[in-house]
Amino acid sequence: MRSETIHTRSQTQQARLAAIYEVSARLGSIFDLTKLFNLVMDATIELTQAERGFVMLLNEQTGKLDVVGARNFDKRTISAQNSTEISTSIVERAITTAEPILTSNAQEDHRFADVQSVVGYQLRSIMCVPLRVRGRVIGAAYVDNRFMSGVFGQDDLDLLVTFANQAAVSIDNARLFNQTDQALSRRVEELTVFQQIDRQLNRSLDLDRVLGLALDWAVNLTQAENGAIGLVGDSAETPDSTPHKSINMLARKGDQADAEHTIQSNHPILDQVLRGGDVARSRHESALADKTVTQLAVPIRNQGETIGLILLDSPLENAFPREDIDFVGRLADRAAVAIKNARLYEALRHAKQQQNDFLAVVTHELRSPMTTIMGYTDLVRSGAAGALNPQQVELLETVMGNVKQMRLLVSDLADINRLEMGHLQLKCSAFEIKNVLRQVKRSLRERIHDKAQRFSLTIDADLPPVFADMERTIQVATNLITNANKYTPEGGMIGVRARRDGQFVAVDVVDNGFGISETDQEKLFSQFFRVESKQVREEKGWGLGLSIVKMLVEAQGGEISFRSELGKGSVFTFKLPIEDNQT
């Protein structure tokens, strides 16, 4: 009889060990913490056949125990509030001593004689096992039985200890996995955010926009209430006549939108940020609103020098944790680069503006004296001021030729200036391109004839009218055909053809002249570029024509392109839009 009992007990024990083995294998594959806690809880109840059970974990931040699983015997989840019914002193003892506790009759156990829950809830059988992993206790598994004593024996405790060890390892792994996973996804999220920030910041060369963008990101991602970005400005005299740098607040959000525009850098926080280049986080009375705020000031540094700062504030006491500070710091680094680019661009734009203003004055001032020179020279050459010998006539003609060249240059420069400043007024209308091309052909006939070049003009049938500025189209065609004439040797061939190309009328100017090398082709539309060759340099020119042609064609909604081969010739094609209603 006795041996039979023993046999049965060991069989039961074996079956329970097998169950532990089976559950433990499943535990290892679950990384979802809620699922894992539920499984640990269910398995604890099943293995011990307890009436109730709780799984608790130590919260490292609060130092308290969090109930992560709670069950009745029928596996119903019971409220975590019921945890007040468990003997916290038993759990605490198990956790502090790191030893399992078993009591088969708690009511009579002197260890728990005064424990309220044991007495109050008539707890009789209790087991509590610490969850231990990597030498630390991370929590406890607790089961109890209210009405029956002697339900749990040493075997049950051994089983629960074995299971608790497995469960603790699985919980620890899952928590680590989640931490790493969270850290990784935070990192990935941050990288994605920075990718967007970089894209937006690099796209803009406008300083205000750069600052506005950086501030939006800083405020939104740290959930600040207010924010401002300021840049270090010029020195300002303070009452004690010490020169201080000031911060010009250039971008603001929230209440800060109405904040003062300039803050003197001897302001305590700014001083720390500007002088030390450190991040400052403090809690103090807001200068703007009647409340206490947490304020974060992060320097924007460029090559070791603090060029500005990002200021954020929030009413929350725990606002701007470490990650936020790191984030704003990295954002400030990026903003520094974008600010530098925007400032360089601004300086360049300013220089260009000055150059344009200068050119506008010069070209205007040169025009009238040149007209006077031309007028008087022509008068003298015509003999109006007395008879001239042939040598004098020739000299005066050279003067006139040079003044004409200069007038061309002045007019080209004035055009470029107007185009660059957006001051060129186009007078667009619908007209036939063939009329323009015939007119240009007539005006260039003499110079083409002088070089004994063959010239052909082909106009395709049924060409729709173009919608463009006629005078400017004449200028474009004249320029390209003049180039063909200049850069094609004597006896060469020039062909002009107008044809339909989709929504455009295209004009090809073809020559079998010098052609342009591939390297030179890249610089062809740059101002003052001329090919370095004797043949080219024998022709008069300033290297401005093509860049004007390009700007003029594009300003009219057209396109320009070319193909060229050195020693063989070139084709320049400009396209102008056809009149809207002609499709």
Binding site for ligand ADP (CB under 6 A): 483-484, 487, 511, 513-516, 524, 529-531, 536, 541-546, 570
**In the block, residue with structure tokens 């063989």:** 568
Neighbours of 568 (CB within 10 A): 11
| Nearest C-alpha neighbor of 142 from the set 78, 206, 94 | 94
* Percent of the chain as helix, strand, coil, to the nearest 5: 50, 25, 25
Task: Select 119 or 457, whichever has its Cβ closest to ligand ADP.
Answer: 457
CB of 540 to ligand ADP, least distance (A): 7
CB of 419 to ligand ADP, least distance (A): 14
Task: Select 376 or 455, whichever has its Cβ closest to ligand ADP.
Answer: 455
- Closest residue to ligand ADP using C-beta atoms: 541
CB of 440 to ligand ADP, least distance (A): 15
CB of 536 to ligand ADP, least distance (A): 4
Count of alpha carbons within 13 Å of 469, Cβ hemisphere only?
15
Task: Select 319 or 546, whichever has its Cβ closest to ligand ADP.
Answer: 546
**E strand or H helix that includes residue 431:** strand 428-431
CB of 512 to ligand ADP, least distance (A): 10
Cβ atoms 338, 202 nearer than 8 A: yes
- Angstrom CA distances, 319 to 132, 333, 344, 422, stand at 35, 21, 36, 49
Task: Select 248 or 527, whichever has its Cβ closest to ligand ADP.
Answer: 527
> Among positive and negative, which fits the CA dihedral 196, 197, 201, 204?
positive
Find all residues with CB under 8 Å of 415, minimum gap 6, and list them: 424, 548, 552
| Nearest C-alpha neighbor of 64 from the set 80, 77, 79 | 80
CA–CA–CA angle 193, 195, 201 (5° rounding): 100
Cβ atoms 524, 514 nearer than 8 A: no
Task: Select 50 or 516, whichever has its Cβ closest to ligand ADP.
Answer: 516
CB of 514 to ligand ADP, least distance (A): 5
Backbone angles phi, psi at 30, to 5 degrees: -105, 125
Task: Select 126 or 440, whichever has its Cβ closest to ligand ADP.
Answer: 440
Token pair recorded at residue 112: 């728990």
CB of 535 to ligand ADP, least distance (A): 9
Residue 69, classed as helix, strand or coil, is strand
Task: Select 109 or 412, whichever has its Cβ closest to ligand ADP.
Answer: 412
Residue 528, classed as helix, strand or coil, is coil
Task: Select 436 or 484, whichever has its Cβ closest to ligand ADP.
Answer: 484
CB of 449 to ligand ADP, least distance (A): 18
Task: Select 439 or 478, whichever has its Cβ closest to ligand ADP.
Answer: 478
CB of 490 to ligand ADP, least distance (A): 15
Task: Select 222 or 482, whichever has its Cβ closest to ligand ADP.
Answer: 482
CB of 549 to ligand ADP, least distance (A): 7
CB of 502 to ligand ADP, least distance (A): 25
Q: Which amino acid is at 393?
A: V
Find all residues with CB under 8 Å of 478, minimum gap 6, and list them: 440, 443, 444
Task: Select 147 or 542, whichever has its Cβ closest to ligand ADP.
Answer: 542
- Angstrom CA distances, 66 to 16, 63, 83, 101, stand at 28, 9, 10, 20
Cβ atoms 490, 454 nearer than 8 A: no
